[in-house]
């Protein structure tokens, strides 16, 4: 049995995806993606890939230090996080890994599509799911954060601060339940305890009507 833990998987994938640990856990897909990748590559080969990946991430060359087959697995894993689908591998990598699975693309789970990181890259939402609410289409999306800010977020440890819609950064344990990611049923918070959203300012209401 592989010794790769879900936490180790998430922390390493932070550097693959460019998203913070909080965001990856927030998808609720970490365990599924780990088991999917392990199943698709094969347990022993995935362990070998994982060891090579962690070594490469600490190497000055980065992912260029990986073999072509391992680089293809890293690409597939990143693709999985962003789209919720395991992709078709390059034929050479498929052969080198001696995979026993059909080399076809498939969605890991129905929820994986809606939790894909790709939607967050442009502040959008998947078609037919996670609608942002009436009138929000009239509000321009936030600008692209500076590179330094992104690097700071992805480098934050488990005790780092999280903003998650709050005025000031707070520790993860201090984030209100209604602001935590994942499905509400998993938070064990009655709907009556979730605070209502504040009413928009008068100027914002006029902009929405316009």
Annotated domain spans of the chain? 6-121, 163-209
CB < 8 Å & 24+ apart, contacts of 87-94: 92/68, 93/68, 93/69
10 Å Cβ neighbour count for 187? 14
Out of 49-58, 113-122, 132-141, 191-200, pick the least confident.
191-200
Q: What is the mean pLDDT of residues 58-82?
A: 92
pLDDT at 182: 43
- Whether the pLDDT of residue 201 is over 80: the answer is no
State the pLDDT confidence band at 53, using cuts at 50, 70 and 90: very high
- Whether the pLDDT of residue 23 is over 80: the answer is yes
- Whether the pLDDT of residue 185 is over 50: the answer is no
Instruction: Report the alpha-carbon distance of residue 159 to residue 109 in Å, rounded.
Output: 31
pLDDT at 144: 72
Element (H, E) at 32: helix 30-41
Q: What is the mean pLDDT of residues 71-91?
A: 95
Which among 79, 86, 111 has a CA at the least distance from the CA of 35? 86
State the pLDDT confidence band at 208, using cuts at 50, 70 and 90: low
pTM: 0.67
Instruction: Report the alpha-carbon distance of residue 113 to residue 107 in Å, rounded.
Output: 7
pLDDT at 127: 83
Higher model confidence: residue 205 or residue 87? Answer: 87
Helices (H) and strands (E) in the chain, counts: 10, 4
**Given the structure tokens 């990611």, which residue do they identify?**
181
């Amino acid at each position: 049995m592989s010794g790769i833990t879900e936490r180790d998987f998430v922390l390493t994938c932070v550097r693959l995806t460019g998203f913070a640990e909080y965001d990856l856990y927030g998808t609720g897909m970490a365990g599924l993606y780990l088991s999917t990748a392990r199943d698709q590559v094969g347990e022993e080969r995935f362990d070998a890939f994982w060891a090579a990946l962690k070594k490469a991430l600490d190497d000055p060359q980065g992912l260029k230090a990986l073999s072509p087959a391992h680089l293809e697995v890293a690409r597939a894993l990143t693709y999985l996080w962003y789209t919720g689908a395991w992709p078709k591998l390059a034929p050479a990598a498929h052969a080198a890994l001696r995979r026993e699975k059909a080399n076809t693309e498939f969605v890991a789970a129905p929820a994986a599509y809606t939790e894909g990181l790709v939607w967050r890259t442009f502040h959008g939402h998947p078609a037919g799911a996670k609608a942002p609410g009436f009138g929000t289409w009239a509000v321009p999306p936030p600008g692209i954060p500076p590179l330094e800010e992104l690097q700071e977020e992805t480098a934050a440890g488990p005790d780092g601060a999280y903003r998650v819609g709050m005025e000031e950064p707070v520790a993860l344990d201090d984030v209100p339940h209604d602001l935590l990611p994942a499905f509400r049923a998993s938070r064990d918070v009655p709907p009556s305890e979730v605070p209502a959203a504040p009413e928009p300012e008068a100027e914002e209401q006029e902009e929405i009507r316009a």
